[in-house]
Amino acid sequence: MGREKRIHSFKPVVFDEAKVLILGTMPSIKSLDFQEYYGNKQNVFWKMLFSVFREEYSDVYKDKLDLLQRNRIVLWDVLQSCERKSSLDSDIIAEKANDIKGLLIEYPHIDTIVFSSQKARQYFDKYIGQIEGVSLLTLPSPSGANARMSFEEKLAHWQELKNKV
């Protein structure tokens, strides 16, 4: 079996007065196809965010980005590129990290990094590590692959996000 095709993450969704940076690992195949963060309908990321901030859910990507801006949230991935044969984080090989420290210098109001999965946190710890003055919070993956928790159980953890923005 040959090497898998190299894939690249999206540019960060950033806002000047952002307080929180949410980091995933790498966009799924469907997200890359749609060119949208968390574009796979099996991933409940957006439904959770709308629920956390008590707003009516919208499937329109611009509305999702507006939700981020209203709540001063930046969205990005720990990894800039990797090789992967499926959307599973466990299939990631030959990864390269994004310049997260550079982003934090450019957006100094960010004081909290939230990881949307354990794997995102593991890659962050491997390539970046602790950053002075920035608190870290790891939340349960909103991915459909994380079937051991119900939506309500995941949402209970994601409610912590409200205290960070």
In angstroms, the CA 18 to CA 14 distance is 7
Ordered DSSP codes for 43-64: --HHHHHHHHTT------HHHH
Active site includes 43? yes
Residue from 43, 71, 98, 146 carrying the catalytic annotation: 43
Token reading at 112: 């909290």
In angstroms, the CA 72 to CA 83 distance is 31
In angstroms, the CA 74 to CA 68 distance is 7
In angstroms, the CA 102 to CA 8 distance is 18
How far is the first Cα of the chain from the last one, in angstroms, to the nearest whole number?
Answer: 46
Of 134, 136, 141, the closest CA to residue 155 belongs to 141
In angstroms, the CA 125 to CA 74 distance is 19
Which are the catalytic amino acids?
43
